Structure 1
Amino acid sequence: MKGPVVPPVRVALAETVGALPRDPGRLAYEPKFDGHRMVMFRGAPGDVVLQARSGRLVTAAFPDLAEAALALPDGTVLDGEVVVWSGGRIDFAAVQGRAAATPGRAPALARRLPASYAAFDVLAADGHDLRPAPYTRRRARLEELLAQLGPPIQAVPMTTDPDVAEVWFGTLTAAGIEGLMVKRLDEPYKPGRRAWRKLRHTDTRDAVVIGFTGPRERPAALVLVLPDDDTPVVSSPLAPRLRAEAGAVLRGLPEPEGGGGTATAVGLGEVAYRSVPPALEAEVAQGTTRHTVTTVLRLKERSAPAS
């Protein structure tokens, strides 16, 4: 095997499918946690690094998970999702609020909105790179590493039985788990490639609004963060009704520290946007022609902002 796996790393990705794949004896099925993708590095004694999907280091934003990771053996690297549970459901807006927290606010948010880490892969153990190993070996090592830990770091459930997976798909939506991940048992971990498959109940997703373009009173587009990806995206232009509805909410929100940033808009490239706290969610549809276009279908105001 290769030497130590160090940040930043590229994560494995998944392609969306419209039906449950069935290939008995060759596939693994896992619930799809719509959280904040994170790679957890446990280095030398006392050393923990947390990396988002984009490669951004988010260790300071999740002090509770950084502390929990100290229980892992040196040389362990995990891939998984950060989730925050609220009322028995996954609260993605709360996760985004945690991820966007400044170092000064992060400890208080960790106490109010404790995070859990749903690990679904191990990239390294004992300092050795396990990415070339088949899924079966990596999964066995993951379960061995986490067997004695317990919350907040736990392995996601897994089955090789497609009938059990179908039951999961039909019953876990109440907890905010909107689909399944499907992986070949004999396949290595493939950084940056869509070798895995994901099945969702719908073609729509809930995203968190972190900013807007245009005037606050009638924004032209919203800047969004979607589950499993911390990179901001700019929506397609809002319909007139949504511009007025979004403006009514945005006028009541404070402007956080920093004021704004830049994000990629399809057809325009990098555009500047103004930031808002993660107090507003949007149901979005994503369609792909040459580029992925994110369209806002409706707004979902939160009653208790996560920030």
Structure 2
Amino acid sequence: MTWTLPEPMLAASVPAPALLPGWAAEPKWDGWRALVSVEAGRVVLRSRRGANLVASFPEIKSGSRQLPDATALDGELIVWESGRLAFERLQGRLQRRGAGAAHLAAEWPAHFVAYDLLRLAGTNTTAWPYRQRRAALEDLFTEHKLTTPWALCPSTTEADTVNEWLSWTAVGLEGIVFKRLDGRYEPSVRGWRKYKVRETQEAIVGAVTGPLTAPRSLLLGRYDTSGQLQYTGRTTTLPHAAGHALAGLLAPATSEHPWTGWTFSAGWGSRETLDVTLVEPDLVGEVGVDVARDSVGRWRHPVRWHRPRTDLSPADIPHTAT
């Protein structure tokens, strides 16, 4: 009988990066969660949502020859560009097959960062405690001398190391994942914990969704060095109180708005467009953002609205790169 990959184990968010006794920590990568299985020459590379990605990542399929038969790993697909994790290069791989996929694999090769061992040479390891799975994963890399596209995710029980990893946001590290040392691998269970690095920034409100009297979300921008207001991201859905409080601070655009004629997607990588109302780009707001960016610096995830900054003008906001 062919072995079937389990559903991935999940993580619940925590507000602080505290490394507790009896837990280990790993870096949280800005990539795609994936599970890979090799058995009798058949390679399965499955996304978190169940799609088989193997045709889009031929470098992973060819690299699977390094793994012992009947072995499965949990990890993250990542791509590096100019010393930083480039999530959008992964996004461009999904629809490519054959020669197109091979071309992108040569131009933007993906790596599989392995952080858990689900099966080893026919033995199901999901019931093993994390410390045992981790030791076996390290032995797998050592004994089989695994090289590109395989990479071993770091793991630590030292708080100082966690603090060092939290300073790696410039290269696209999203945060930290915590795993109990004696915890087994439980499919679909949020038994791990994750902390995502967030920071406070300011941006200019350039458009809204919903009515001006109670906007549902805000589209934000910053001026580039040439003086053009560039879209940088949008907020999550505003609480009703926050939306009503903004009503008196927003005015519909009365002159040629820098975003006239633009369309905005409902989400990063989505083809669905938003119905927006342009507003005079006068209001500055403070928002909470994570470290996920695209290649031009836009926030890839919706940001959290904190408060209007009526004490600041758009000229006070740092410029984006042109």
Category of TM-score, reference length = shorter chain: 0.5 to 0.7
**Counterparts in 2 of 1:23 and 1:152: CA distance versus 1, 3 Å:** same
Q: Which residue in 2 is equivalent to 1:41?
A: 37
The alignment partner of 1:285 has SS state of coil
Per-residue CA deviations over 1:51-91 (Å, capped at 9, x if unaligned) read 11111001100001110011100011001001111111110
Greater fraction strand: 1
1:102 matches 2:100: no
> How much does 1:152 deviate?
1.7
1:150 matches 2:126: no
CA distance in 2 between counterparts of 1:194 and 1:69 reads 29
The alignment partner of 1:99 has SS state of coil
> How much does 1:281 deviate?
5.5
The code of the aligned residue for 1:111 comes to: A
CA distance in 1 between counterparts of 2:175 and 2:275 reads 28
> How much does 1:34 deviate?
1.1
Per-residue CA deviations over 1:182-202 (Å, capped at 9, x if unaligned) read 111010111111111111111
Q: Which residue in 2 is equivalent to 1:249?
A: none
The alignment partner of 1:6 has SS state of coil
1:194 matches 2:190: yes
Q: Which residue in 2 is equivalent to 1:70?
A: 65
Q: TM-score, normalised by structure 2?
A: 0.65
Q: Which residue in 2 is equivalent to 1:284?
A: 301
> How much does 1:175 deviate?
1.8
1:30 matches 2:29: no
Q: TM-score, normalised by structure 1?
A: 0.68
Larger Rg: 2
**Counterparts in 2 of 1:279 and 1:69: CA distance versus 1, 3 Å:** farther
The alignment partner of 1:98 has SS state of coil
> How much does 1:144 deviate?
1.0
**Counterparts in 2 of 1:159 and 1:105: CA distance versus 1, 3 Å:** same
User: 2:107 aligned to 107, 112, 127, which one?
Assistant: 112
Q: Once superposed, what is the RMSD of the aligned Cα atoms?
A: 3.2
User: 1:222 aligned to 244, 266, 271, which one?
Assistant: 266
The correspondence of residues 101-140 of structure 1 with structure 2, limited to 5 A, is 101-140=96-135
The alignment partner of 2:93 has SS state of helix
- Segments of structure 1 that go 5 or more residues without pairing to the other structure are 210-216, 226-231, 242-277, 288-300
The alignment partner of 1:164 has SS state of helix
CA distance in 2 between counterparts of 1:62 and 1:15 reads 29
Paired residues of 1:5 and 1:129 also in contact (CA < 8 A) = no
**Counterparts in 2 of 1:237 and 1:121: CA distance versus 1, 3 Å:** farther
CA distance in 2 between counterparts of 1:16 and 1:161 reads 20
CA distance in 2 between counterparts of 1:233 and 1:196 reads 32
**Counterparts in 2 of 1:102 and 1:203: CA distance versus 1, 3 Å:** farther
Q: Which residue in 2 is equivalent to 1:273?
A: none
CA distance in 2 between counterparts of 1:131 and 1:235 reads 42
**Counterparts in 2 of 1:124 and 1:237: CA distance versus 1, 3 Å:** farther
The alignment partner of 1:84 has SS state of strand
Paired residues of 1:4 and 1:129 also in contact (CA < 8 A) = no
- Segments of structure 2 that go 5 or more residues without pairing to the other structure are 201-232, 234-260, 280-294, 305-319
Identity of aligned residues (%): 34
CA distance in 2 between counterparts of 1:223 and 1:152 reads 30
1:240 matches 2:238: no
Paired residues of 1:134 and 1:186 also in contact (CA < 8 A) = yes
Paired residues of 2:112 and 2:150 also in contact (CA < 8 A) = yes
**Counterparts in 2 of 1:181 and 1:41: CA distance versus 1, 3 Å:** same
Paired residues of 2:265 and 2:271 also in contact (CA < 8 A) = no
